[in-house]
Structure 1
């Protein structure tokens, strides 16, 4: 039973094999490679049964550069060395030799299904081999031979026990060349699988792969880092790498007990010299299974046992250069009429042949397995001689060029008949030498015939176009034209299709314009223009000299054309000519007509827009097109009236009676042609019959006095109203009240000084006039007062008071403004008696000062200024002069007496007898002076001394003379006695400080007081100043 079961299981190991491809030849020495792999190897021994030994799912590749075949790939369900089972071997294989360089397979190797014992999926094998001929090399990396065997799952079992449950399993073997080395690779791929009813799980972490390689000097074999995770009876997974193992001891209740070991195999390296060789068994499962009630079974299972070997000659695998290909078609020296001839020959299978002419590629082709190739040029070749060569390349080597192949392409085909395109068939022309044109084969010679007679030849250009003009004029009437083409090889075409045409040189009669009628008026500014003419002719229509379009005369002789653009109102002239199909143009017919398609929109000029009127039947007027009827309506549609526009374009009428209020009116005009205008711009006005309130005069204020004799008069009123102003009963002008209700007007004619009365009325925009305003009384005082007088200090006086009181006279009630040296010191009011007084608040410096005074009367008129100068004296240190001799009351007999006294040192003393100066002297340093008087008359004399001292008031320019006199109230009186007695009496009176005034009738000599002298305050000497020239 067990033997049978095992046989069935092995038969179910369906495997697919794939073949590899090799590329290399010729070679300097032999090379070889091989791979093998099994899905599973089974070794079972049951006590009392035959020993079983079989490899299931076998794949293998072999390469031998000198063998037969040179490359082989195969797949088998069971290896040929299976022992103890009656299972037939199914194999798929591919082989390559020089004669058959490529071979492949893709084959199913069967499927076994024994219920309760074995269940497999599809088993298949794929493979390929390749071997180029002895003279070809293939690029590195391409497979020489490759096989893959795939088992789509399988189960191996005993009654009650599933020993092995495989997922999809495959093995692959591949051989190739790589940079001069021979490479053989064997790999496996195992999906998740299990043992012993699933109690043991197998999961491959890294799938196994071994690679053998030889470079001709050293052979090696290597593997990847393959690994497996194993779980036993739900215990944590154990990861096994190369050389790792795990025991599997289980008691499967009611079925069996096991004593197994699972091992991940090591790579066995058998490399020697230039040969790389090795093998490994990816997973082995060994031990015993005791079936309850049955024999014990010895188990030896191997999953994915792999082998690989590679041997290369010394120096590695190298390829010689490719031989040149051979061109056999077209035959050298042959002639063909085909511009895309087939070019072919022989070469190395798998190589690519490139054909060139003068360095330009004309096509490529791959060499087939039988060593032949062919191609058709990518672009048609020119006519004439050609010489071509070929090279071949396979990616590693490029051959030299082939022997040149020469051939000639000739033209043996007649060109197509040309086509006549002009004149068109059935057309007419008035040209007796009409250009005849058409198309033909480019470069061909075209011969043209008319009515069977050749009239000339021409050549078709590169685009195939040609034209011929007859040298001899053709007679009017019908003609037939044909053409033939002759190519450069001398091949002539058949004649073209004939073209019939007519020569017509007679112009048609002028067309007739039937609409618009001559002299008519139309309201259509795009009128339709119609007429009659010669059927088939083209009518050309112009308006005012500008062509507006064309129309074709129909078979009935009628034509019609719409005006494309609107015509302006006014007179127009339309004209038309017609041109027959031959091109003959007639004379023109013309028609005059008028377009009146619009009328101007009327304009309302009166009442002005926004105006007011108190007229309840206002005159309404405006402008419009002469002769038009204008209708005016208000905002309610009420017709206010109509009018006819005169020749000047104006219209007017008197409105129906209107009630007070606002109106918005518009106008529409209809001209004599019936054109109705658009509505005019609205005109807004108001009927207002209520007079406004009187205006108010606010300036000048009632009862005021003003100095402006052309005052501005202002006030308030109704915005937009016209204010009329009257002064003293005379109208002085009008002004408009602004939007702020204010108005002003200036008096243009000066008013006289005195009282005035101003009144005003206002007239609103509707023309309603108010009552007069309340009158306003005012006084005009525009005459300035006379300049005030300055009394003290007197002009030219010298004073010692540093804060003097300034006094003077002026107009009673006026205000006097006083300035000293340009600085305002204050004001003073003129008293009713005409006097004014202003004290100086701040002490003045010694020196000359100028007083300026102006007065402003109550009306505000200001006088001219008046000025006075005085000198402020620092009196400290001054000594008044004193006369010591002659003594007061003395009598002397000398008429030139010596007079002496005291004074301020350095000053000049002048002695006066009355107003007569009788002598001078200089005061000495001791303060004394002496002089001899001029001759005096006999009698009594009263003398006094005047002391003069120079003082600098401006050191740069001016010297002042300070005069100090003795006290005239205490003069020195003396008498001169003479031998002649002259007697008389005289009397007089005087006031201290004012000098003496003569009174009575003199009967003799008497001294006169020193008039004009100024009295010093506090009994000091009298003072005055005279200006001296600058020294």
Structure 2
């Protein structure tokens, strides 16, 4: 070989140096033969660090899973550090149940191609785990199953747990807290059976599931959630009702004593919101309200007293109660009305007396009442008076005082009128009313309570002379309140004759009830 070529080749060879030999990587953590504490976090995941891995390589780590085959522990790339060290996260989740010994092989592979690097010698690597990634007694719930509709309200939870573990079943209760459904201890084989009750669910609720926990220092999985529902509610539903008492109040009552609201059927312990709206749907303000109101904790009953402000006007109102958690909506109607003047004393019919037989074609009806008021008297056959007869009364068998010409109560508190009627059985009742300046019934004025009811019989005179018939005044359309004739008064009128006063405005909507006592003149 020419000297120049030999020198050239020698220079190249000298520059290249000797060929590098294959070598294993060094694992620094977990150190070979050591025990790694994996009790915190995910027990199957172990961070691996070491040195000696070429920067172009990823670490390859396989481990024995007890079946004669090796499982791959690394599923992501390897991080290379500037100091020549590396790190990766290994997953030993395929170890057999209860196994804590990791028997592995480490090597390297090109990070791009995945081809094994011949310069990295595969080497054995063994270490211990503090707890088995897969416990010898896996924590399971076999019944009830996820998504199951349970056909009993007291299901028994079964499954496996670490022997000696206390297994507890809890659930979300009606107050949005947690209640214990039952507890039991797993036996030596790991089996458990927990009888349960779910009596803290809201009435009517079918539930949403439960959480099962095991308490044991050796247990690795401590909590499992099972979603299921009941076919029938463990706590029967409570009927949803609402009442407002009284349902009609005066303005004075509305702003002082108020209206008592009572409701059932809300979710126990939930917040209940109250809104009151007028007949136009506008919300009205209530007085002295707290920030929050709640249904009681056992059965979801709710009670409240609503007091209106002084700005309340006579109107029909709707009270709406809404359960914030359940979405239950209940409503009641109430009326706030104007003042009604109640005249006293209440009229009393003194003649005829109860059961009296009167002879002739007329009957004189007398009584007492508030001085200066007018008496409106109704006399009718019992069948018409109570509305059992649907036919209009015949002429001469019905009398109703003309509201334009009532019977005057004199200064001594007495009144009287003679009425012509055909023979028959009759009933009489009266009411007193305030009068206008011209002596007519004041349809916007006060009225008394209804008088006593007197039943009497009118028989023909011995001479059998037919008494003349006094026809009541011609009818006038309500609400003027004038007399109805026998021919035109239908069952609805006769059956409630005195209620014409209501239609005439005398008893329209109670407002600021007060008593007007009229003392008789000496």
The bucket for the TM-score relative to the shorter chain is 0.3 to 0.5
Going by fraction, where is strand more abundant, 1 or 2? 1
With normalisation by structure 1, the TM-score equals: 0.21
Q: Considering only CA atoms, is the larger Rg found in Structure 1 or Structure 2?
A: 1
With normalisation by structure 2, the TM-score equals: 0.35
Larger RCO, structure (CA 8 Å, separation 6 or more):
2
